[in-house]
Chains A and B, each alone.
Chain A
Amino acid sequence: GQNIDQPTEMTATEGAIVQINCTYQTSGFNGLFWYQQHAGEAPTFLSYNVLDGLEEKGRFSSFLSRSKGYSYLLLKELQMKDSASYLCAVVGYQKVTFGTGTKLQVIP
């Protein structure tokens, strides 16, 4: 089975940097996704990590350490529109399991 842990809520200031952590335990690992979900909407894909290290995509970066079962999503230059839930998802064999998500509130 798979177990995924993320903080429930976080608050950060506009223009700042925030790091959202995700730890996982899985019997089979084929990669990790990060998704953004605004309230009442479907999740949208942000990033994919399968090898250890940092993947950068604009203001968003994602890091993976397979040996530690750990990933984080880094959001830079926060904007008000970044207020959303951020979901960590582990790829197993043929299926993807999501964590419960971290609700990020960006304040002025």
Chain B
Amino acid sequence: SQTIHQWPATLVQPVGSPLSLECTVEGTSNPNLYWYRQAAGRGLQLLFYSVGIGQISSEVPQNLSASRPQDRQFILSSKKLLLSDSGFYLCAWSRTYPAGSYNSPLHFGNGTRLTVT
């Protein structure tokens, strides 16, 4: 079976500090990978998605970046955190199917609650 691991579960960081959140998927190959952010009381905002190693699409201009150094590893980074970066960060994966065919649901990790102080 497939599992997704995301860590850490909670993080408190000062403004201006760097950030690195890691996500790994087990039990599948060549998954689509996603980073979402959910601010308090808000919906899920898509930050980045990746359809393969080294292929990253950014949805929102910001001080965050993402990388996919291995097939099942997805990393979210920042060089300098802002107060507005606080939120609940969720990594997700889905299977890859040919375009126009079935779409796999997204399966989420448990999330990282980031508080920037």
Interface residues of A (CB under 8 A from B): 30-31, 33, 41-45, 48, 50, 87, 89, 91, 93-101
- Identify B44's interface contact among A43, A44, A50, CB under 8 A: A43
What mask results when residues 1 to 44 of chain B are scored 1 for a CB within 8 Å of chain A, else 0?
A: 00000000000000000000000000000001010100000111
Interface residues of B (CB under 8 A from A): 32, 34, 36, 42-44, 46, 49, 51, 57, 59, 90, 94, 99-100, 102-103, 105-111
Nearest-CB residue, chain A, relative to B32: A94
Residues in A whose Cβ lies below 8 Å from that of B49: 94-95
Contact B51 A42 (CB under 8 A): no
Contact B108 A98 (CB under 8 A): no
**Min C-beta distance of B17 to chain A, whole Å:** 24
Contact A98 B44 (CB under 8 A): yes
Residues in A whose Cβ lies below 8 Å from that of B94: 96
